[in-house]
Amino acid sequence: MARFRTWVGIAVAGALTLSLAGCSSTGGKRAEDARKAAAARGAAAVTTPRWTFAMITHSGDGDTFWDIVQSGAEEAAAKDNINFLYSHDDEAQQQAQLVDAAVDKKVDGIIVTLAKPDAMKAAVARAVKAGIPVITVNSGSEESEEFGALTHIGQDETIAGQAVGEELNARGRKKALCVLHEQGNVGHEQRCAGVKETFDGTVQNLYVTGTSMPDVQSAIEAKLQADTSVDAVVTLGAPYADTAVKARQGAGSDAEIDTFDLNAKVAAGLKEGTLGFAVDQQPYLQGYQAVDLLWLYKYNADVLGGGKPVLTGPQIITKEQAAALEEYTERGTR
C-alpha cells in the first residue's frame, strides 16, 4: 500500500511539473475568454410572470445539434423571463414518460419532438387535455396538427434533401455518395431519398459507424477508391464532413464534400474551400422560436403558421456566407 501511495505521489508531482513547464501562447482557453468578454449574455427583457416551459427531445447523449437547439431555447427563456427545463431520451418510450412527468408537474408550456410520433401520441394528447399548450419542433411536421399542437417549427427532411439535390445539379455533379452515420434513422433515410428525388445524377447510400471516426474515414476512403467516378460526397452531420475531407485526401479523389448541418469546422472548411456547401436547418432558431412562440401564446394568444409547419430550413450555406457565420459557429449558436 505504501508503494502504491508513493506512485500516486510521483504521478501527481509529474502532472504538476508538466503543466507548469509548457504554456501555449496561441489559441486555448485564454483566447476564448478574450472573445467571450465581448459578447455578454442578456437578462430578462419582459415583466410577465415567471412561467415554466419544459422541452423534451429525442436527442441521444452528446449530440452537437441538440446542444445548439438547447442554447437557442435557453437564451429565449432568459429574455422572456421563463423557467426553462430541458430533458431528452433517444428511446421513444422514455421520452413519452418525460412528457408525462412534465404534465404531472403542471408546467405552463411543453416543447416536444416527434421523432417516433406513434409512441408520443398519448403523452401529447394528455398534455393538450390538461390545457398545456404544446409546440412541436424538429421532427413530426405531419403529425403536429393532428396531435393538437399549436405549431410545428422545423425543417422538412425530404425538402432539405431535395435542396441538396438541386444544389448538386447546379454544381454539375454526376455521382453522389450519401453517408448515413446511423443505420435505421428515419430522418437520415428521408434526407438521402430527398437528394435522390431532385438530383439528375445517381446517388448511392453508404452506411458508416457514427461512433467511430476512424471507421467513418476508412469506409468513405474505401468507397472513393472502389468507385473513382464519385464526384460528390454528402455527409448527414457536421462532424462527419471534416472526416470525409480526410478520406478524400487518403483516396486521392477530387470529389466535392457537402454536408447537412453546421459547426465551427464546417464554417472554416467552407471558407477555405475544402467543403462545397452546407445545408443548415438552423437548430438555434428551432429552440429560440419554440420558447418565444410559447411565450407569445401565453402573453398575447399568438399562433404562427396557420396549422402549417413553420420551416427553419433548409438554408444553403456556401463560401460567401460562411465567413460571416464563423463567429457564431465558434460560440455554438449556429
Partner 1 sequence: MSAAATTDERLLRTSPLRRLLGRPELGSVVGALAVFVFFAFAADSFLRAASLSTVLYASSTIGIMAVPVALLMIGGEFDLSAGVLVTSSALISSMFSYQMTANVWVGVGVSLLVTLAIGAFNGFMLSRTGLPSFIITLGTFLMLTGMNLGFTKLISGTVSTKTIADMEGFPSARDVFASTLTVGGVDFKITILWWIALVAVASWILLRTRAGNWIFAVGGNQDAARAVGVPVTATKIGLYMGVAFGAWIAGQHLLFSYDVVQSGEGVGNELIYIIAAVIGGCLITGGYGSAVGSAVGAFIFGMTSKGIVFAEWNPDWFKFFLGAMLLLATLLNAWVRKRAEAAK
Q: Name the residues that contact partner 1, by CB under 8 A.
A: 11, 14-15, 18-19, 21-32, 60-64, 67, 183, 204-207, 209, 211-215, 217-219, 221-223, 225-227, 239, 242-243, 246, 250-252, 263-265, 332
CB-nearer residue toward partner 1: 23 or 43: 23
Q: Which is nearer to partner 1, 22 or 273 (CB)?
A: 22
Dihedral class, residue 28 (left if φ above 0, else alpha if ψ from -120 to 50, else beta): left
Residue 48 or residue 249: which is nearer to partner 1 going by CB? 249
Shortest CA distance to 155 belongs to which of 193, 191, 195?
191
Nearer to partner 1, 30 or 106 (CB): 30
Nearest alpha-carbon partner for 46 in 81, 82, 84:
81
Exposed / middle / buried, residue 90 (Cβ in 10 Å: 0-12, 13-18, 19+) = middle
Q: How far is the CB of 61 from partner 1 (least distance, A)?
A: 5
CB of 190 to partner 1, least distance (A): 16
Distance in Å, CB of 41 to partner 1, minimum: 12
CB of 65 to partner 1, least distance (A): 9
How far apart CA 292 and CA 315 sit, in angstroms, is 21
CB of 32 to partner 1, least distance (A): 7
Tell me which residue of 193, 200, 271 sits closest to 236, measured CA to CA. 193
Nearer to partner 1, 30 or 50 (CB): 30
Prior bond of 49 cis (ω within 30°): no
**Cβ proximity to partner 1, 198 vs 218, nearer residue:** 218
Cα 115–Cα 295–Cα 137 angle in degrees, nearest 5? 10
C-alpha distance across the termini of the chain, in Å:
52
For the record, the C-alpha cell of 89 comes out as 431520451
Per the listing, cell 462527419 goes with 240
Measured from the CB atom, the residue of 252 and 307 that comes closer to partner 1 is 252
Burial of 33 (0-12, 13-18, 19+ CB in 10 A): exposed
Q: How far is the CB of 10 from partner 1 (least distance, A)?
A: 10
- Cβ–Cβ under 8 Å, residues 327 and 147: no
Please report how close the Cβ of residue 224 comes to partner 1 at its closest, in angstroms: 9
